[in-house]
Amino acid sequence: MARPEPARQRKSFKILGLAGASIWLQKNAGKWTFDGGAGYQVVLQDAFRNSPFTGWRVKKELSEQLE
């Protein structure tokens, strides 16, 4: 008599990723650089929410070797 095969377990998974859109701008003024932008993050997980985000940076060149 043949042994019955064990029931196959289905592997369930969720897509753990991010999708979204953003736009970033940069302005140079002499030794100064200004960066800034904003976007919207779409989270594909059930326990988390979609959200907007922003960011900015100000950078100054101290010398050609130190930027």
pLDDT at residue 15, rounded to an integer: 47
What ranges make up the beta strands (E) of 1-67? Answer: 18-29, 32-43, 51-60
Q: Could you tell me if 17 and 44 are in contact, meaning their C-beta atoms sit under 8 angstroms apart?
A: yes
pLDDT at residue 48, rounded to an integer: 83
Tens-of-pLDDT digits for all 67 residues of the chain? 566 555 555 554 444 455 678 888 999 999 999 999 998 988 877 888 889 999 999 999 888 776 6
Spatial CA neighbour of 36 closest among 13, 53, 48, 49: 53
Residue boundaries of the structural domains of the chain: 18-60
Q: pTM score, two decimals?
A: 0.54
**Could you tell me the strand order of the sheet in which 18-29 lies?**
18-29, 32-43, 51-60
Residue type, position 61, single letter: E
pLDDT at residue 33, rounded to an integer: 92
